[in-house]
Amino acid sequence: MGEKASAFTKGGCGCLLAFAGFAVIALLLGGSAHIDIGGAILLFLIGGLLGLLILWIYNKGKNDRGGP
């Protein structure tokens, strides 16, 4: 898997896990949480795009300092 695909996947999964964490907190506080497949896909896409953005910033910084 390429560097960009890995960043997208990690970002998407991280976003879904963050939502799950907030859902657990809401449930523990007596609230409710639910998500449908469309919401899960959107969360994954948003997280993936954030992962790509972070990778781009990281690579830009690495190139600016002249590293390998």
The packing angle between helices 3-28 and 37-65, to 10°, is 130
pLDDT one-digit tens code per residue, 2-57: 899 999 999 999 999 999 999 999 999 999 999 999 999 999 999 999 999 999 99
CB 48 within 8 A of CB 8: yes
Residue 58 has pLDDT above 60, yes or no: yes
d(CA 36, CA 20): 13
pLDDT class of 64 with cuts at 50, 70, 90 = confident
Q: What pLDDT does 63 receive? A: 83
d(CA 67, CA 33): 45
pLDDT class of 67 with cuts at 50, 70, 90 = low
* Cα of 22 vs its chain's centroid, Å: 14
Q: What pLDDT does 62 receive? A: 84
